[in-house]
């Protein structure tokens, strides 16, 4: 492996596996020693095996702009990203704290609205959010939980600080790819799972099923389904994989109907059968044409009333996207202090609100150095990365912000951490982020690690799979003696 690693240089970025460009961190030295001791041919053979594994298992992801290539193989790098269990334990507590506050916020704004009346967050910010759904006013889901599945994106800067970049509360994707990454890594690097104490992730489907089941505490054995937009959705592979592994029935909107008794039924060859819990993977806009978009063919007419009447549980609950808003993200530390009376464990990335006059002045004066995001986009769409943008693009965003300042936030361009990644003929540093998944129902569960996404293009900060990014397995390593509990 000497030749593949000999020019590795993370520069001035924080390296997830090494210190000073070459010295392994305490929790990664066994991994790096092993990889560096492998001959080039053996390493390339493992890479080839991983590619075959992904193809044979049909692990795919769709990029909508690539119309001629629906089934693109999932981009995967075999060199894992590693975090110490000590750091992860603190991170996990911070993530649970965050989702507790976010669910309190959603429940509050659809009911009493204390946080608005107490002046913690402006009413205009909430009610003008695209994710705010007045149709959800007065609802009280089980346990006060609206966002049952959350994917929070974490990034680390050059000081080593781990920040929450955003919270994805509507239909966060990626967890099935996390599971497939682990299976693939175990297949091509099995010897390391015998030598290292790596936290398992394979219980996620069981945890998901348990959480969904808890949403109907009145039923001993509720019928549960995953609602997908269908095979042309970019995350269809994930929908099918999760349904199969968690024991959910995979359904599309046309498979379901609301009966005259107000319950939701699926159509089967034996007649109608009741469905009690739905894990929906379609946006609010499309879930019920009687309430939201009338032209939607993906949803089920009348399902919102069934949900309001308590005849079906929906995860995530309609309306939870209001907390997915990138402007409201700026207020999450205040929510934690307001609802929980605790200091935030995990910091937000410093954020300027363009609705604030002094913030706006700063943003417009420093656009070429900033990242600008609109309130309700996701997947890396609609944003400006100042240092990597043209003068024309910066001018375009300047006008967009001036025309509608309440729709934009800006953040500094962080020097994202890097992790060693195999790039064709060498190992090179590539920027990464991390998306852990948090389940909330009767209890909370956080995936140990999550999905590490990689910007495969040298120097790029865009890690989103929908923008051509790749992925890695994420290992939480405990240096204490091996307990024998690997997945």
Task: Identify the structural domains of the chain with CATH numbers, from first to last.
Answer: 92-150+199-340 (3.40.50.11290), 352-412 (3.30.1490.270)
| Unique residue bearing structure tokens 């999905």 | 451
Which range among 3-7, 38-42, 197-201, 403-407 has the greatest average pLDDT? 197-201
CB 15 within 8 A of CB 21: yes
Which range among 150-164, 453-467, 472-486 has the greatest average pLDDT? 150-164
Mean pLDDT of 12-40: 91
Instruction: Output the CA–CA distances (angstroms, integers) from residue 205 to 175, 342, 447, in the order listed.
Output: 10, 31, 11
pLDDT at position 306: 97
In terms of Cα–Cα distance, which of 53, 2, 27, 24 is closest to 190?
Answer: 53
Mean pLDDT of 366-372: 92
For 191-250, give the secondary structure using H, E and C. Answer: HHHHHCCECCCCCHHHHHHHHHHHCCCCCCCCCEEEECCCCCCCCHHHHHHHHHHHCCEE
**pLDDT tens, 24-36?**
999 999 999 999 8
* DSSP state, residue 432: E
pLDDT band at 1; cut points 50, 70, 90:
very low
pLDDT at position 48: 94
Give the β-pairing of 277-280 and 313-315: parallel
pLDDT at position 251: 97
- Among 8-12, 239-243, 440-444, the range scoring the smallest mean pLDDT is 8-12
Mean pLDDT of 270-290: 96
pLDDT at position 64: 59
**pLDDT tens, 398-438?**
999 999 998 899 999 889 999 999 998 899 999 999 999 99
First to last CA, the chain: 28
pLDDT at position 6: 82
Query: Angle at CA 351, nearest 5°, toward 350 and 353?
Result: 160
Q: Is the dihedral of CA 23, 14, 473, 48 positive or negative?
A: negative
For residue 443, is pLDDT > 50?
A: yes
pLDDT at position 377: 67
**130 against 96, higher pLDDT:** 96
pLDDT at position 66: 52
Strand partners, 19: 23
pLDDT at position 481: 52
pLDDT at position 20: 82
Mean pLDDT of 434-449: 96
Tell me the pLDDT of the chain averaged across its residues. 91
CB 135 within 8 A of CB 319: yes
Around 386, how many Cα atoms within 13 Å sit in the side-chain half-sphere? 17
For residue 228, is pLDDT > 70?
A: yes
In terms of Cα–Cα distance, which of 224, 228, 214, 212 is closest to 287?
Answer: 228
400: which 2 tokens? 């967009």
CB 413 within 8 A of CB 385: yes
For residue 455, is pLDDT > 80?
A: yes
Helices (H), 294-337: 303-308, 326-329, 332-335
d(CA 98, CA 147): 12
pLDDT band at 63; cut points 50, 70, 90:
low
pLDDT at position 275: 98
For residue 483, is pLDDT > 60?
A: no
* Percent with pLDDT over 70 in the chain: 94
pLDDT at position 42: 93
d(CA 413, CA 463): 14
Q: Where are the beta strands (DSSP E) in 54-93?
A: 60-61, 72-73, 76-84
**pLDDT tens, 68-117?**
555 678 889 999 999 999 999 999 999 999 999 999 999 999 999 999 99
For residue 65, is pLDDT > 70?
A: no
Instruction: Output the CA–CA distances (angstroms, integers) from residue 186 to 47, 49, 142, 196, 202, in the order listed.
Output: 13, 11, 38, 12, 12
CB 422 within 8 A of CB 448: no
In terms of Cα–Cα distance, which of 95, 96, 144 is closest to 441?
Answer: 144
Dihedral in degrees, nearest 10, Cα atoms 397, 402, 403, 409: 70
**pLDDT tens, 294-324?**
999 899 999 999 999 999 999 999 999 999 8
């Amino acid at each position: 492996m000497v030749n593949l690693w000999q020019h590795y240089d993370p520069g001035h970025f924080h390296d997830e596996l090494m210190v000073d460009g070459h010295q392994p961190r305490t929790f990664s030295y066994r991994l790096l020693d092993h990889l560096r001791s492998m001959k080039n041919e053996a390493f390339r053979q493992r890479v080839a095996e991983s590619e075959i594994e992904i193809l044979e298992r049909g692990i795919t992801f769709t990029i909508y702009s690539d119309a001629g290539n629906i089934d693109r193989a999932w981009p995967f790098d075999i060199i894992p990203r590693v975090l110490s269990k000590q750091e992860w334990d603190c991170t996990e507590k911070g993530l649970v704290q965050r989702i507790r506050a976010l669910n309190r916020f959603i429940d509050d704004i659809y009911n009493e609205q204390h946080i608005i009346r107490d002046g913690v967050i402006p009413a205009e910010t909430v009610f003008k959010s695209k994710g705010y759904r007045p149709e959800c006013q007065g609802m009280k889901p089980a346990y006060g939980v609206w966002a049952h599945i959350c994917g929070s994106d974490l990034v680390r800067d050059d000081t080593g600080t781990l920040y929450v970049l955003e919270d994805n509360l509507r239909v966060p994707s990626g967890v099935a790819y996390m599971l497939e990454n682990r299976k693939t890594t175990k297949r091509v690097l099995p010897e390391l799972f015998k030598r290292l104490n790596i936290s398992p992730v394979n219980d996620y489907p069981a945890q998901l099923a348990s959480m969904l089941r808890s949403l109907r505490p009145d039923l001993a054995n509720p019928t549960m389904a995953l609602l997908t937009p269908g095979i042309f959705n970019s995350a269809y592979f994930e929908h099918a994989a999760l349904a199969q592994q968690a024991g959910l029935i995979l359904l599309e909107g046309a498979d379901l109907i609301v009966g005259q008794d107000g319950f939701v039924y699926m159509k089967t060859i034996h007649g109608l059968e009741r469905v009690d819990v739905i894990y929906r993977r379609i946006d609010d806009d499309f879930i019920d044409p009687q309430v939201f978009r009338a032209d939607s063919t993906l949803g089920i007419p009348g399902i919102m009333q069934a949900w309001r009447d308590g005849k079906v549980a929906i995860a995530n609950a309609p309306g939870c996207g209001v907390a997915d808003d990138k402007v409201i993200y700026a207020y999450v530390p205040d929510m934690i202090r307001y609802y929980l009376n605790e200091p935030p464990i995990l910091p937000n990335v410093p954020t300027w609100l363009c609705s604030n006059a002094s913030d706006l002045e700063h943003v417009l004066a420093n656009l070429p150095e900033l990242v600008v995001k609109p309130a309700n986009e996701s997947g890396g769409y609609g944003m400006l990365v100042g240092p990597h943008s043209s003068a024309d693009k910066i001018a375009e965003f300047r006008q967009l912000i001036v025309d509608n300042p309440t729709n934009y936030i800006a953040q500094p361009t962080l020097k994202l951490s890097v992790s060693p990644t195999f790039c064709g003929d060498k190992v090179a540093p590539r920027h990464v982020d991390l998306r852990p998944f948090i389940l909330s129902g009767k209890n909370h569960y956080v995936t140990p690690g999550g999905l590490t996404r990689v910007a495969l293009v040298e120097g790029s900060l865009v890690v989103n799979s929908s923008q051509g990014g790749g992925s890695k397995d994420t290992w939480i390593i405990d240096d204490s003696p091996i307990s024998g509990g690997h997945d």
